Structure formats: C-alpha cells, structure tokens
Chain A
Amino acid sequence: MQSENCPNCGAEIFFRSPALPAVICDYCNSTVKRIGKALEKIGEVAALPFDVSPIQRGTAGTYDGLNFEVIGRIRLGYDQGSWNDWLCLFSDMSHGWLSESDGQFQMVVEAPIDQVAGDAVQQWAAGGDPEVGERVEINGESFVVTEARWAKCIAAEGELPFAATTGWDVFNVDMRNADGFAANFEREEDGPGLYVGRYLTLDELSPRNLRPIHGWAMPDYGA
C-alpha cells in the first residue's frame, strides 16, 4: 500500500495496486491518476448520493475461495435508476466488480474480449446492438440478455482501475443464464469489455464489516 498526497487538496490518498491507477480523493472528490511516478488530477466526480447499500469500502468477503476487500465504487445511472459497482481487490491482487442493483448482487471479473468465443459479443464490440430477451452464446454457455442501456457515471469513491469522472458514458449489457451465471458487456470510449461471473446473495460472499444501518439488525454473518 502506497500513501500519496492529493495533488488538489493535499489530503492523504492510497494506492494498493499498480493495476488500480486511479483514486477519488475523499475530501475534494478529485479524480487522481497515477501516471508513472507522477500524480495528476484528471477531473472530478460529484458527491455520492445517499443510499442504504449494505456494502461499504472496507467490507471484506470471499468469492470462489479468494478473499477480497471492497476498496472503491462507481455509481452509474440510467433513465430507470442507478446502481453501484463496487471494486473488489482479491488477495492475489486481481480485481473484480461486485455489482449491486435493486438489492441483487453479481460478482464479475473481466475476461479478455478477444479470447472469448461468441459471435454476439464480437458483433457488439464492433458496434452492433443487442436486444433484450435475445439468447447469446459465450464460451459455449447460453445466456439471455436482460438489460441493454446507456449509463452515465454519477459518482465514485475510493480506488479504481480507470479514471472515472462524472458524465463518463458506458453502454452496458446484462446477461444471465439458467444456472445463475452472469455476464456484462460494456462499450465505452476506451473500447469494449466483457465481464463474467455469477449472481449471488450477500451471505454467499461470507461478508464481514458490512455497513451498519440504523434501525436494521445486521445479519449474523455480516459484522
């Protein structure tokens, strides 16, 4: 863990991994990117709107045998609402996203899009549009498209693998299959990306250090 000072306001900021070059300063909401040895303020994010998410930075858990800690989040909004994508740093220094939407959770990890077998994904990467309800194949598994929408970054916090700024756009496609596996396809300025994983309930992550919320009993597993 490397400690630095925010180039905008001087507050202390932390970098845990070379793969996560961006940090949102908790004090001034500046998006700070580490470029080589230098730190640069790239932009800003808006303050996070209030929510009652049970996850917070510092929440820890286990996924597929690997322990992780939540160290960042971006909040994305679209015309029907918004959701959180929590950045999870695994004990082997890889990272995944815990996507939280309407009380449902999915953990996904990036899969290199050029190594993925599936015509649909390649079409979307080239600019094609998916249809909600469409059945597609990814690496031999059949998925159904449940969402396809443009979303905008509303706010962010903590450490991130990219420099998120308010207003940054992404086209997001959600897919799921009969066994609870999930896939997300994203298309943004930097290019397309594919994330695969599965839906799960909070208790399946064996979470610790969940956010205590006034008036609600913390589940046994969450403290």
Chain B
Amino acid sequence: MVPDPPEDDRPNPWGRSDEAEVAPAAPTDRHVVTVAGDDAPAAEQFNCPNCGGTIEVKAAGYTVSIACQYCGSVLDISNADVRIVARYEEEVRKLELPLGSRGTLRGIEWEVIGYLRRSENAAYPWDEYLLFNPYHGYRFLDTDGRGWSLGRQLTVAPQSLAMAGFTVEGEFYEPFYAQTRAQVDYVLGEFYWQVAVGEEALTADYVRPGKMLSWESNAREVEWTLSELLEPNEMTDAFGIDPPRGGGLPLPHQPSPYREKAGKMLKLALVAAAAIILVTFLFGGTSDPQTTTIRLATNGVEQEAKIGPIELTRPRQAVTVSARAPGIDNAWVDLAYLLVERNSGIVYEASNVVEHYSGYDGEGNWSEGSDGSSSKFSMVPAGTYDLMVEAAGSQWLEGQYAPSNGADVEVTIAKGATFFSNLIFALLLVMAPALWVWFKHLNFESRRKSDSDFGGGDDDDDDDDD
C-alpha cells in the first residue's frame, strides 16, 4: 500500500531547497512496520527529512541508500539516523515498472525496490531495476527499450581465456562492448550500495546467445553480473508490462531465430546429398561397351560405320556414345549418330565433335579442347538397336581449313550414363533452401554484431581495446 504524497503547503524547516550542504539528520520517526501474527516484519518506515513523505524500506538491513519516491532526494540510511546526501525538489519520474510492483519471474516472486537510469556519457541510456526477495536476495532487470534481461551478481570470478573472452559455468562469452564509462543519471528507491547521480563506473560486456556477462569496476570494487534475455511474455505475465516494439538492431545477446533451423536443415540436406551421391555411384557408370574404328577420309567426305546389335533390356535406360581421336591436334572431327531400333523403327539422334587446338603466342604455349567427346541418350526404351555413325574430319593447317590427315576415330557405345548435370542439379535443389535459411542466420548475426566494438560490420574497428 503506497502512502499518500505530502500536501503542498508542508513546512520546510530546512530553508530553501537549492542549498547544497548536507543537512543534519532530522527526526524521522524511523520505525519497524509491525504486523500481526508471528511472522517477522517485512519493512521499516520513516519520513523523508526533505519532503516529509513516508518512505518504506523493503530490504532493511541491506539497504544503505534510498532515493525518496516523492522528492527524489538521496538519503543515507546505513546508520540509525537518516542523512540527506543530495536534495532534490523535482517532479519524480513515472516509471515503466513502478516501485513496489510485485511479480513472479522464473518461479520466484520479486518486488521492485530500486531504479537507476544509466547511460554511456549521457548517450545510449538504459534502465536498471533492482528486484528483492528476502529468501532469494537481489536480481537486476535491465532494458534499453529492445528487451528485458534478468541479471544476478556472480559469486564466482569468471575465467579469462586470454583476450578471447571469459568462461562462466562452462559457457564461453565473447566480447561485445569494450570498456566504456557509464554514469548514473537518475535514481529512485533503495539500494544496497551508496548511489549518487553522476557516479561513474567502467563497464564491459560479453555475450553468448541469450546471455550477457557484464563486468563493472568503480572506485570500490569489481563486479560481474550474469543476465539472461527474457521472452517478451515473461515480463507481461509477471508485471503486466507491454512487450517492447519490434524493429531496430537485435540485442547483443539475442539468439538468432534461424540458427537452430538452419543447422537442422543443413544436416538434413547433407544426408540427402550423401544419398544422392550414393545413388550416382550405384546406378551411374556404363557397361557392355562396343567399339568401332573409323578411318577419316583425306578428302573430307563423311565416312560411315555401324555398331550393332545393341541389346537394351531395361524398360528405360541411358546410352553413352563416346568418341576418341588420339593425338588429334589443330583438327576436328564432326560426328553424327543415329540410334535405330530394328523392330519398331524408332530413331534417336545426336551429333558431336572431337576437337583439339594448340599453339604458341605471346604468353607461351596454349591448348584447347580434348581428344574425346561423349553424347548421352536419355531414357531409351528396351529393344535391339544399331548405331549408325558418320564421321568427317578437318584440320587447320597454316592458317586455313584443310581436309583431314587420315587419322582414326574410335567410337564406343555403352549402356548407361553418368549424368553429372543431374547430380549437380539435385544437389542444388536440396542444398538451396537450407543455404537460404543459413544465409538469413548469417544476416541476422551480422546485424547483431554491427553494434559490437569487436569485429562487427564492415566499418573500421578500433585496434586497441583496453
């Protein structure tokens, strides 16, 4: 139950409110709020020496300073007397999460007892709320507008891994924000340390998906805090806070929504790719070759040859016709194939060329082409076939066309084929969706890391991180 704020015409025995000196402790009527029954009391109460408002202390025994929720003045209550540390007469800010709110987060009930607004030299502000439960101690709730994180101070000292980061409880945290000066801009409520507006500290942050490890050093001590990113509904369920608006950069410790999905898809795609490659080995390749050799006419006239019979037994199969002209150079052989079924008259045709050229120019020796080529027939039905081959040779002699030099070309027909184009096409089909999601993951991580002081984005990084 929040007490009423004081009336406007309250007496102000301390004179003008802009006097800076620390006033002597005023009679504050500091007393324990008694309760009925056997339970120990939960709070003590006193009147603000500046404005007279009634202040409740919820973490009595731990709290050393408290900023009055009515006038904002900072009071030192570490001793029995209440001392004014800094006097304010401002309109107290309305908080997104009001002091005194209670809510259950991750199974434990917490009361909001303190609030700090901090910033990096007045830029990039963030809110810190202090949560308390006498049986569970303290937690921090931090937000910079993009999401809420629940943090606790560590009692272990994280282990450093050279300059690469820190390990806590077996988990590794990589650097995200380098040491920066943080200052306190506004305080409200109670704290277990002496707070002051303007107080400075050095902070540095390390992250892993979903968690942030924060280092802080001020004049008195060094602290480590470990925070976990909360789901938006956790804050709504606990305190009725609206989820933050979307958009903007991902938080430093925001886990990529694509990581797990991309990983699973890539694994599945690799399994499919392995199966596809296996099928290629099982069903690819050729068998039962039959060969004929054609001597090319020196007058360039097409020579003909026939290979057959070729018995194709499967309902459908591929057929590979390959040609070889060993030693061919600066010449080519035009080939035409007709695959004719003896009984039905079905004809399959293809044409190809075997060519090879070489020479010497300003950059040295060059060569192009090869001494063989192959043509593949797809889904040829069962039957008895003959292959009719027509071959004609030409050469390039001293800068102009010339008839062939009478070389031999060897033509082989075999059953089956290895369609590498099929293989590539199938592999692309299975890998593409997985790679697409992986790409979205990389894009997310790039956006997330763009705010990092370490190796993020394409901008220049500072080399020196102290």
Residue ranges of A at the interface with B (Cβ–Cβ < 8 Å): 49-54, 56, 77, 80-82, 84, 102-104, 106, 132-133, 144, 146-147, 176-180, 182, 199, 202, 210-219, 222
Contact = CB atoms under 8 A, between A and B. Distances in A.
Interchain residue pairs A-B with the least CB separation, the first 6: A51-B61, A103-B137, A199-B155, A214-B39, A81-B64, A214-B35
B221 A146 contact: yes
A215 B153 CA distance: 25
A49 B158 CA distance: 35
B384 to A, nearest CB: 81
A54 B135 contact: yes
Contact of B138 (A103, A106, A146): A103
Q: How large is the interface on B (under 10, 10 to 19, 20 to 34, 35 or more residues)?
A: 35 or more
B392 to A, nearest CB: 82
B62 A103 contact: yes
Interface string B352-387: 000000000000000000000000000000000000
A124 B411 CA distance: 95
B311 interface: no
A49 B135 contact: no
A218 B40 CA distance: 12
Contact of B42 (A82, A147, A177, A213): A213
B157 A144 contact: yes
Given A49-B61, A202-B136, A176 B193 contact: no
B222 A81 contact: no
B40 A180 contact: no
Contact of A54 (B44, B134, B157): B134
B298 to A, nearest CB: 88
Which of B60, B155, B193: most chain A Cβ within 10 A?
B155
B39 A102 contact: no
Contacts of B61: 49-53, 82, 84
A216 B133 contact: yes
18 contacts: A50-B32, A50-B60, A51-B61, A52-B42, A52-B61, A53-B61, A80-B64, A80-B193, A81-B78, A81-B192, A103-B62, A103-B192, A146-B222, A199-B155, A213-B39, A215-B42, A216-B134, A218-B135
Interface string B37-50: 11111111000000
A50 B30 CA distance: 11
B22 interface: no
Interface string B337-355: 0000000000000000000
A206 to B, nearest CB: 14
Nearest to B33: A214
B317 interface: no
B220 interface: yes
B236 interface: no
B140 to A, nearest CB: 12
A49 B38 CA distance: 19
Contacts of B43: 52
A214 B159 contact: no
Contacts of B2: none
Contact of B134 (A53, A77, A81, A178): A53
A54 B43 CA distance: 13
Nearest to B31: A50
Given A146-B222, A213-B135, 13 more contacts: A50-B60, A51-B61, A80-B78, A81-B62, A82-B61, A102-B153, A102-B192, A103-B132, A132-B222, A177-B157, A216-B42, A217-B109, A218-B135
Interface in B136-191: 136-138, 153, 155-159
Contacts of B37: 214
Contacts of B60: 49-52
B20 interface: no
A212 B135 contact: no
Contact of B155 (A56, A104, A202): A104
Given A80-B194, A82-B78, A176 B39 contact: no
Contacts of A84: 61
Contacts of B159: 178
Contacts of B136: 103, 202, 219
Contacts of A214: 35, 37, 39-42
B95 interface: no
B84 interface: no
Contact of A180 (B134, B153, B156): B156
A222 B108 CA distance: 14
Interface in B50-67: 58-62, 64
B80 A49 contact: yes
